[in-house]
Amino acid sequence: MADRIDRDMVISSLREVLDRDNSLSRCCAIRGLARLNASDAESHKLLIDALLDPDPDVRVDAAEALGQLKIKAAASPLLDNIEGDPEGDVRIAAIKALGKIRSDAAVDRLIRCVEESGYPELDQLLDDDGFSACWEVQRGALEALGRIGDDRATQPVIDLLKDEENEELQESGFQLLAHLNSEQAEKFLVELLKDGGRLARRRAAQAIATAPNIQTGSSGVSTDLLAALSEALVDSDASVRIYAARALKAANNPMMQVSLVLLLNDPEAEVRHEVASLLGDMRGSDIVNRLHELLQRAEPELKYQLVRVLSNIADPRSYETLHELLLSCDPIKDHHLMYETIGALGSIAKPGQERELLDILTNTDRHYTVRVQAAQALGRIYRNLSTNKDAGSDSHPEDVVNALIQSIDDGNERVSYAAIMALAEIQPRQAVETLVALLRSGTANSYRDPDSEDILQETESEAEAVEIPPAMQEMISGHDAGTSTLAAILTQPSSELEAPGPEPGTESSAASENVKRILAARLLGNISRPDAQAMAALIEAGTGRDATIRKEAILSLGRIAHPESAPVILDGLNAQQDEVRLASLDALAHFGDLETVNDRLAVLFSDPDPNIRERIAAMLDFSCGDKAQGCLQQALQDEDHTVCKTALARLTEELADEQVVSQTFALMFKFGGELRTQAAAALRRMNDLHSATRLIEMLNDEEQEVSHWICIDALAEMYTVAGSEATT
């Protein structure tokens, strides 16, 4: 056997397997040729020949491979399978393959398949559920014709859909007709959209909405079709109205805007929301002015929808209209409309009359959702103001900042959370000071003006009083409070920053303070360059008694990832609470390049819990020290397959030595071959050519036939087109 195996040699070896008696090996070889994107004529011929293999599983794999490779010459043989193979799975695979190949030469016989109902006479035996493959074959033929897009299919499909017994094929049939460039097909769809049954109307509208000429906003959309869609906006079925609205919006006909705006008053909430979203995607003075006019005379429910649309558009010209609407709202009866209006003002973020927003935020008699919106809107407006110095505003930023700080101590945690986030947008430095106070005491009342010299001295003395590990002293003393920033706070996904805790109004005062401390710890961990106060507060919380707060502080220290915070995080590994230990492991994942952390993780690799071992295997720098390298070898021999799988994913050429390669090779056959492709991919990354030679030798050894399928799959993985550059 040659020392160097290239991709062509692997393809040749897989072709030879197709002549063997073992059907599992033949199936794997066929799938391997597809993965290797075999483009030679001999491979194509053998795959086509495999459509007549005595084993139906082989025929299925052959059909799928021919479709994946898009071999035009396979169209006629695949049609032979569709028209004559006794196995339904083979016929289904063949029809799907033809859809991928898209051969014009197959159109006539595909039409015959549709007309012959997928050849039900071939389904001599049904499965336990009474499933007959002919329906799936017929549906697949419709989809294949749709992909080919030949107008010859128009009339046969119309005839099929007119038969009430074929109702289950309507969706595929309508989709086909919508994708044909045929006046006859469009006329049929329009007729059904007007006069068909409920399900037929729904499916016709859905098909029209996805038609290529509709989706491209083509000016060639016929007036008859546009008129039918406009009429469908008042259809009795909500789904028809939704699909018609989508189609009209996609058609981009300006005359249809009026119809869509009127649909905002639809009795179904689902329709109103859909239309609001569609209108919100539109831009331009025409649509904005029309919405303003309608808002002046709209009923309360329609006003709610119109405001949502204006919020999506966020045109500055809507500011005055929305501000007037806010002033006219009744605080009790109209709090839902107030919520949407405040949100729209925040989306526009134009400075102006913010006094009303401040009053709403600080008025505890207002509904908490409205107060949350006010805090969020203020944050957006003043963030925008910081980049637009000429913009006017009737509120001094200091008033807004003070109001937000006071609101952080609000009895409703959702209001408190919104105030924290808004403060972070307006005054990042002050937000950090407030978060530190919140973390330490659960209240923002300890916040003071950071420009006051007396308060600075008081804060520094508090920081010195905190018990800090010796390793931290140098780091903390080297920071200046003036370098504080919260620029990265809002980079976390909103779902990760959601305030934890019970529903508003149910928590006790102590529980509420705890929730705020947890949130403060979480947000402080997103500071790009934390100052001494922030680090001291996190270190204090990271060594505290409250397990939940300690967990959040440790996770935040991990995200900050300063090397000197490692001792506090490592100490968390000794905690009694599982949540703290797991948080410490997660935090240490950010310290993979620190040798002391790596050594400590290596010691923990003997843990009896496979979940711990798996997590450590994902974190360790296996190239850092003898202990870590020993852990790699342990991981590759672990009795838990997830540990082995994680270790395989970490292997690179730099880690390759004789023992690692040998262990990786063995993993292809361990666990019943479950890790064969992962191990083969690792060998490819390690650029190990000798293993490929061994696999081919095993493949040619009849006594090892039981492992041939593993060898084939592994070779295909090692020499895929994407990975072949590394091995040839």
User: Residue 568 and residue 594: Cα distance in Å, rounded?
Assistant: 14
Q: What is the phi/psi pair of residue 636, to 5°?
A: -70, -15
pLDDT above 90 for 425: no
The model's confidence at residue 474, banded by pLDDT at 50, 70 and 90, is very low
Taking every pair of Cα atoms in the chain, the longest distance, rounded to a whole number of angstroms, is 94
Spell out the domain ranges in the chain. Answer: 450-591
What count of other Cβ atoms lies within 10 Å of the Cβ of residue 495?
A: 6
Q: Residue 605 and residue 615: Cα distance in Å, rounded?
A: 9
Distances in Å between the Cα of 53 and the Cα atoms of 18, 56, 85, 90, 583 are 10, 7, 11, 11, 56
Q: What pLDDT score does 395 carry? A: 63
Read off the pLDDT band of 462 (50, 70, 90). very low
Is pLDDT at 435 greater than 80 in this prediction? Answer: yes
Residue 217, pLDDT score:
64
For the segment 195-249, what is each residue's pLDDT rounded down to a tens digit? 999 999 999 999 999 888 787 765 668 889 989 999 999 999 999 999 999 998 8
593 burial level (CB within 10 Å; 0-12, 13-18, 19+): exposed
**So what's the pLDDT on residue 138?**
95
Question: How far apart, in Å, are the Cα atoms of 660 and each of 167, 599, 629, 642, 726?
Answer: 60, 20, 10, 17, 19
- DSSP states along 100-118: HH--GGGHHHHHHHHHTTT
For residues 560 and 529, the answer to whether their CB atoms sit within 8 Å is: no
pLDDT (tens digit, 9 = 90+) per residue, 611-637? Answer: 889 988 998 888 887 888 899 999 999
Is residue 553 classed exposed, middle or buried when 0-12, 13-18 and 19+ CB atoms within 10 A define those classes? buried
Cβ atoms of 597 and 588 closer than 8 Å:
yes
Q: What is the pLDDT of residue 718?
A: 95
CB 521 within 8 A of CB 538: yes
For the chain, the average pLDDT equals 84
Query: Helices (H) and strands (E) in the chain — how many of each?
Result: 41, 0
pLDDT of 470 higher than 70 = no
Instruction: Please state the φ and ψ torsions of residue 243, each to the nearest 5 degrees.
Output: -65, -40
Structural element, H or E, at residue 25: helix 23-35
Q: Look up residue 686 and give its DSSP letter.
A: T
Instruction: Provide long-range contacts, Cβ within 8 A and 24+ apart, for 164-170.
Output: 167/199, 167/200, 168/135, 169/135, 169/138, 169/139, 169/142, 170/199, 170/200, 170/203
Q: What angle do CA 85, 88, 93 make, to 5 degrees?
A: 90
The per-residue pLDDT for 398 is 84
Q: What is the pLDDT of residue 41?
A: 97
- 22-65 confidence digits (pLDDT tens): 999 999 999 999 999 999 999 999 999 999 999 999 999 999 99
Average pLDDT over residues 565-571: 90
H or E stretch at 659 = helix 658-667
CB within 8 Å of 702: residues ≥ 6 apart? none
The reported pTM is 0.75
Dihedral pair phi/psi, residue 343, rounded to 5°: -60, -40
pLDDT digits (tens, 9 = 90+) for 154-201: 999 999 999 888 888 988 999 999 988 889 999 999 999 999 999 999
Least confident of 324-328, 472-476, 699-703: 472-476
Name the amino acid, one letter, at 281.
D
